[in-house]
Homo-oligomer: A and B are copies of this chain.
Amino acid sequence: MNASNENSKTSIPSQTDIPFTGEGIFPKGGKNEAYARYFTGTSYLNMLSLERVVIGNVTFEPGCRNFWHIHHKGGQVLLVTGGRGWYQEEGKPARELRAGDVVNIPPETKHWHGAAKDSWFAHVAVEVPAEGASNEWLEPVSDEEYDKLGDCYVG
């Protein structure tokens, strides 16, 4: 609120000041081979919780994104932990994502998420528990759609 506070703020770096290279708070894990056929580019998956609530840390190399998909019944909450990326629901403008952002994805909503072209990106994905929950994977996000995003709406 005053000059001396401003100075101390700029001299102490915070976690989000660090250029994100894919190695963040949560370990990156190995290549996400189980879901590779639903991704354009290379992603990494490290499961953080397999019981009670399923939680995974997903890291995307620059340009990597998942295919359009739908979470049936449950939905998913994304907690962005590093880098810059995108979230888009069908028929809506893409939303730019940075560390600290949260996306609460409703069930039955066609969408995709992934890295910006020039940045690594990571989010923790919390699966919303629901009886009979399933994921439906659809078509890839085309290069044409993806390449337009640079100057897109920043949410």
| Cross-chain contact B49 with A100 (CB below 8 angstroms) | no
Q: How many copies does the complex hold?
A: 2
User: Smallest CB-CB separation from A99: which chain B residue?
Assistant: B25
Q: Taking the complex as formed, is A102 at the interface, i.e. its CB lies under 8 A from any CB of chain B?
A: yes
A residues 22-74 with Cβ under 8 Å of B? 23-27, 48-49, 51-53, 55, 74
| Residues 107 to 136 of chain A near chain B (Cβ within 8 Å) | 124, 126, 128-129
Interface residues of A (CB under 8 A from B): 12-21, 23-27, 48-49, 51-53, 55, 74-75, 77, 79, 81-82, 99-100, 102, 104, 106, 124, 126, 128-129
Using A25-B100, A49-B77 as known contacts, list a sample of 13 further A-B pairs with CB atoms less than 8 Å apart, ordered by residue number in A: A12-B19, A12-B21, A13-B18, A15-B81, A16-B25, A18-B18, A48-B102, A49-B102, A52-B74, A53-B53, A79-B79, A124-B124, A126-B126
